[in-house]
Every structure is written in C-alpha cells, then in structure tokens.
Structure 1
Amino acid sequence: MLSITGVEEMQELAEKFTEISIAVKSTEVLINTEGKHGLIADYSDSFALPYFSSPRVPDLPQISDTVLVELIEGQFQDSIASFLIIDCRYPYEYNGGHIRTAVNVHTAQDFNHVFFDTGKVEHIKNGRNIIIFYCEYSLERGPAMFRRLRDADRVKHKLQYPMLQYPEMYLLSGGYKKFFNNHANMCSPPNYVEMTNEKYGSWSECRQERAVSFCDKRRNSEPIPSKTDSGNQVSPLPETPRHFHFQSSSLTDLCYDSRQSDSSFYHPRFMAIQSAHSVMQFNHVH
C-alpha cells in the first residue's frame, strides 16, 4: 500500500508527464518568451545558438544573419562541432550567388544524398552537428525543406523516439535576400538572382521538378509569385501539416503525402563535394 508521500510523488510525476505530452503535441521547438533557450528536438540539450520565432513561421527556431556570420567565423566553436548550411532555392538562384559553404538541395535525390545516404554525411561523434536552412526569404521553401527533414528523421527513428539524426536545426531569418544585403562579401559569387528572374531559369519548371521528385500530391508546396504582393514577395500558402511515406526500408523511395498530419515539426570551413559518391562533410568549427 502506497504512503501519502508516495501517492503525492506519483501525482506530481503524472502532472509532469501530462505537461510534457502537451508540449510534444503542440510543438517540438520549445521557445521561451523570456528569451531563454528551450530544448532541441530530441530533448537532450538546449539550443546552442541564440534564436527566436516569428509570426510568419512560428513553429521553427530562427537565427539572424549576424549569428550565422559569427558561426561561419568560428565564434561558437566551444559549443558547436560542425554545421551544414542548406540552400533551398532553385539551382539557377544558387548558381547566381549563395552563402559561402552552402549546399543546394533541390530534389528528393539531393535530399536523400545529402542527409541519408550511408557515409555521405560525416558527423563529429559526441559533438553538436547543426543544420541551417534558407531560401530567398525563408518563408516557404526553406521552412518546407526543414519540415521535410524533420518528418523523415522522425519516421526513420519512429521506434527510438525521441532519438533523431538531426535534432538541432535552424531557419535563417530573412533568407538569402537579407543576408546578401548585409553580407555580400560572405556570398559566392557575390551576387543575388531573384527567383522571378527568368533570364537565368524558369521558376515554374523548377517548382514542377521539385514537386514531382518528392511525389508531392499537393503540387503547391512551393511559392508562386504574386502580382499583388509588394516587390518580389511570394504569396503565402496555408501551413498544412505534412508527412512522409516511404515505399521501402531505405529512404531513397521518398514520397510526400500532405493528407496525413504529424505534429513533429520542430537548431577553415568550406564544404567539399567531390562527386555523387563522395563523403559529405559538415563544416568543422575550428
């Protein structure tokens, strides 16, 4: 028979479990409004970088362009072992100018090669390996790729929850446009090609190519330029929960099904990609 003290302890544990369950169901990025760090997506530690949320993308942790520059320059070497910067724009935008060391992920093949092909990504064991995503404004394509990876990672480790291969990921606030305006010297080449500049490529063809490669049944998960928006802003799309389906035990047969929902949406250094069979290395922080 339990003592009164034992019952109270069990009640306290039950209350804590309920609080944790509610937090997990609502979001995996626990952003404290007072500015203190929440927990990364496997709940193993707090975020290494100073981050914030925004009304347009409230579910993803974001970092400023200044913080990214500090990361590239090695100012977080005491807490971060390596980092990988992912450019989620279309290839012609990336080729026209991108953040130094960034890797372009456009299709499902790129996605699987960079993130999940055995031996393609080399982590530093027992170190913090983080990923930063961005697109032109970091409002649509960057967040979509962030969520794709988180969902795929959750599926891969569904029997080892909350384990993740990539528990700490961030979104670059303001995207490439803001970063280029403030740090053109950190871009290679130091240039900015807008998505709507069809002199360099067709956004509609690239959008279709990406949608087909991810088996995207919505076919509208990428931005469409809007004439009513100011400047070259893209029209916002409804933020619908999305989920991956895998056709085999590997992650190469990747299909994207928006009909199912998942609440698991939740932080010298140059990248060398020698070939499609080379080892993809994170930028080591020295």
Structure 2
Amino acid sequence: MVLIPVRKNKLQAAWEGPFKVVKQLNEVNYVVELSNRAHHHRVYHVASLLCGQLAGVVEEYVVVDCRYPYEYAGGHIKGALNLYREEQLARWFLPDPLGTTPCPRSSVLIFHCEFSSERGPRLCRSLRRMDRDANRYPELWYPELYVLRGGYKEFYQHFQDLCEPQGYVHMRHKDFRAELRNYQRRKQPWSLRRIRKELFKPLCPGSPFP
C-alpha cells in the first residue's frame, strides 16, 4: 500500500494499492510500479513524512538542518532544528554526563545540509558514533538515521510550501563571506572533548545499563 497525494490537494493523501516496489533508490526513495496510472513508475519522497501522511507509521521524527545559521535563517524546512556542530548534537540528543536528564526518546532523525554531500552526512555519522560509544552494542538510542537526498537545494525546488521562510541562501553567498570564514575556522573546544570523555567512559562491571 502507498500513500498517494490527492489530486486536488497535494498535502492530503489516500492509501492505494497494493503496488510493486521496482527498486529502492536509497533509505527514503523507492520506485513504485503503478500499473493503473498513466505514469507507471513514480518516486516517493520523505516529504510524505513531513506532510503528516505517515503519522500512523512514524510516531516522532526530527529534521536536523546542518547548514550554517545564515543559511537556515534564509529558509529552512518547517520545524527543522539548526544544529551544525558536533557539540550541539551531543547537547540536544544525548543525556548529560551527570545524568540529570532522562535517556533520549527514540526518534527518526533526518539530516541534511545544502546538498547533503558533506555537512549533513558527516554530522549524521558523528551522532551514530557517539550513540555507539554511549551504549552497549547493538543497543542504540537512535537506530533510524537518514540523510535527505539532494539536501535543502533539491527539497526547496519541489516543496517550497514546506519551507519557512520560503527562500534559499547558498552557503557561498557573497553577502555572507565573512560569516562563512568564521564558521569554517571554528574547531571543537577542549571543554567538549572533556564532556565526551566523561559521557562515554566504559561502564563498570555490574553497573546497571542506563
């Protein structure tokens, strides 16, 4: 069964099928054979999740925008978090070293940057590594991590109504050259390395699993 947008309102959908999955392009895109339609093969995008069409399947999701703040301010996916540094991921998604915050809730996390070719995939891998270090294999707080294919650039081209504000600022925009140099010069502070060392230290034998 496939959720297919209603012709009169693309933000609404109805279940149709069953249909045959011809090919899986990646984690979120599939080629589906629609034998009873004029266009036999169509690709379904993660925007179905953002439109609420999968509310009965996915209980909770978070879109992580890994672009720099001036890019985010110029236009971003509705509801996306702007986290572009590794320590921001640790503070937002992982419990603090003192144990004063509860264990994270399992959510579907969708990472992206401008093209989803460097910053988004890198931070996605970083969170998976931190999650692995903080848990005993194969346990994970966030087992479902995805990277949005084509990044914000491709998403904005097709789904401007799901962006706020409805704009697109390139990373190398001429008006933000100073900001770009500043963000690219920043390195991970010593304090974060110390936090991570405390957070990911090995559990003592017999200690309860968090």
TM-score normalised to structure 1 length: 0.50
Unpaired runs of at least 5, structure 2: 1-21, 31-42, 201-210
User: Any stretches of 5+ residues in structure 1 without a counterpart?
Assistant: 1-33, 36-50, 54-60, 216-243, 252-286
| Amino acid across the alignment from 2:148 | L
- Structure 1 pair 213–63 and aligned structure 2 pair: CA distance change class (3 A): farther
SS of alignment partner, residue 199 of structure 2: coil
8 Å CA contact 1:99, 1:186 repeated in 2? yes
Q: Distance in 2 between matches of 1:63 and 1:122?
A: 27
Q: 1:169 aligns with which of 134, 145, 149?
A: 145
CA distance in 2, matches of 1:103, 1:156: 23
Partner in structure 2 of residue 213 of structure 1: 188
1:193 aligns with 2:169: yes
- CA distance in 2 between partners of 1:121 and 1:184 (Å): 35
Asked whether 1:203 is paired with 2:180, we answer: yes
Change in 2 beyond 3 A, CA 1:165/1:172:
same
Q: List, as ranges, runs of 4+ consecutive aligned residues in structure 1 with deviation greater than 4 Å.
A: 62-66, 244-247
Counting matched residue pairs gives 161
1:184 to 160, 180, 184: 160
Q: Distance in 1 between matches of 2:95 and 2:73?
A: 24
Shift of 1:66: 5.2
User: How many angstroms does 1:67 deviate by?
Assistant: 2.5
* Aligned-residue CA RMSD (Å): 2.9
Question: Are 1:80 and 2:58 matched, yes or no?
Answer: yes
1:193-224 alpha-carbon deviations (Å, 9 max, x no partner):
00000313532221222xx1277xxxxxxxxx
Query: AA paired with 1:185?
Result: D
Which of 125, 130, 138 lines up with 1:152 in the alignment? 130
Is the 8 Å Cα contact of residues 94 and 104 (structure 2) preserved in structure 1?
Answer: no
Shift of 1:95: 1.0
The match for 1:48 is none
In structure 2, distance between residues paired with 1:93 and 1:121: 31
Q: What's the CA shift for 1:120?
A: 7.9
Indicate whether 1:52 and 2:49 are aligned: no
Deviations 1:95-141 (A, max 9, x none): 11111110011223322221114548862xxxx62000000000011
Q: CA deviation at 1:86?
A: 0.2
Q: Distance in 2 between matches of 1:197 and 1:208?
A: 17
Shift of 1:68: 2.3
User: 2-side partners of 1:248 and 1:109: how far apart?
Assistant: 13
Instruction: Determine helix, strand or coil for the equivalent of 1:131.
Output: strand
Structure with more of its chain in strand, by fraction: 2
Matches of 2:87 and 2:173, distance apart in 1: 25
CA distance in 2, matches of 1:92, 1:117: 28
| Corresponding position of 2:198 | 249
Q: How does 1:1-286 map to 2 (within 5 A)?
A: 35=23, 52-53=25-26, 61-63=27-29, 67-118=45-96, 119=101, 123=105, 129-157=107-135, 160-200=136-176, 202-209=179-186, 212-213=187-188, 248-250=197-199
The answer as to whether partners of 1:134 and 1:172 remain within 8 angstroms in 2 is yes
Stretch moving more, 107-116 or 141-150: 107-116
Contact kept in structure 1, 2:104 and 2:141, CA below 8 Å = no
Distance (Å, rounded) in 2 between the aligned partners of 1:170 and 1:214: 27
What secondary structure, in the 3-state scheme, does the structure 2 residue paired with 1:249 have?
A: helix
Report % sequence identity: 31
Q: Which has the higher contact order (CA 8 A, sep 6+)?
A: 1
User: What letter corresponds to residue 158 of structure 2 in structure 1?
Assistant: N
Q: Is the 8 A contact 2:134 2:199 kept in 1?
A: no
Cα contact 1:115–1:121 (8 A) shared by 2: no
